[in-house]
Amino acid sequence: MITAGAALFLAVVLLLLLFRSCGSTHGSAIGVVRSLVKAGVDGDLKKMKDCYGVKADAPGELQSELDATVRYYKAHNPDRVRIRKCGKLFEDEELSCTGVYIVYHLRLPDGQDYPCIGTYLVQKREGRYYVLTAAQTEKEMSDAAAAAYAKFMETDLYKDYAKEYDTFIRRNPGYEDKIAGKLN
């Protein structure tokens, strides 16, 4: 009887954790970026819009960007995404934004990992973090992000990503053209 009760309790806890992780994480800049990438790979436009703080229809430019992102991931046909590292490039209270990088792999149907990297600007509004759209990004924010990214490119993490990407492309000549062809 005790074993059955413990097993039931464990099952309930696991289900709660599973359902909790299904939505966007707005508690941190890193969490919302991780959620955005996972939702993009899953093709979940509703969750992607939530990461931007959009509840209904996305403005035309953002909707086009979201659609293009989903098409890009679908062109790769990944089995899953594996996030290697996600962290802050910079945080600027005066500009009211945080730059976030994410390094991840798309697991392709043939078992290979396609290395990817992305950067996003995130802003805290009403206690929650949201990814900024291009229209919300001010010149000063872009300048700060560019300077931080230039420094990031000198890190071992970025250099490792670049090596992995170069190795993948050497092993898979024409891969980028194949993806580009699927996007046209």
Half-sphere exposure of 135 (CA within 13 A, CB side): 9
Average pLDDT score, the chain: 86
DSSP, collapsed to helix, strand or coil, labels residue 1 as: coil
Name the burial class of residue 60, with classes exposed (0-12), middle (13-18) and buried (19+) by CB atoms within 10 angstroms of its CB.
Answer: exposed
Q: Is the pLDDT of residue 130 over 70?
A: yes
Q: Please state whether the predicted TM-score (pTM) of the whole model is above 0.85.
A: no
Name which residue leads in pLDDT, 120 or 22.
120
- Domain residue limits, the chain: 25-183
Closest Cα partner for 116 from 81, 146, 148? Answer: 81
Q: Is the pLDDT of residue 164 over 50?
A: yes
Q: What pLDDT is attached to residue 146?
A: 94
Name which residue leads in pLDDT, 79 or 12.
79
Q: Is the pLDDT of residue 8 over 90?
A: no
CB 125 within 8 A of CB 136: no
Decide yes or no: CATH 2.40.160 for domain 25-183. Answer: no
Q: Is the pLDDT of residue 161 over 50?
A: yes
Per-residue pLDDT, averaged over 51-80, amounts to 88
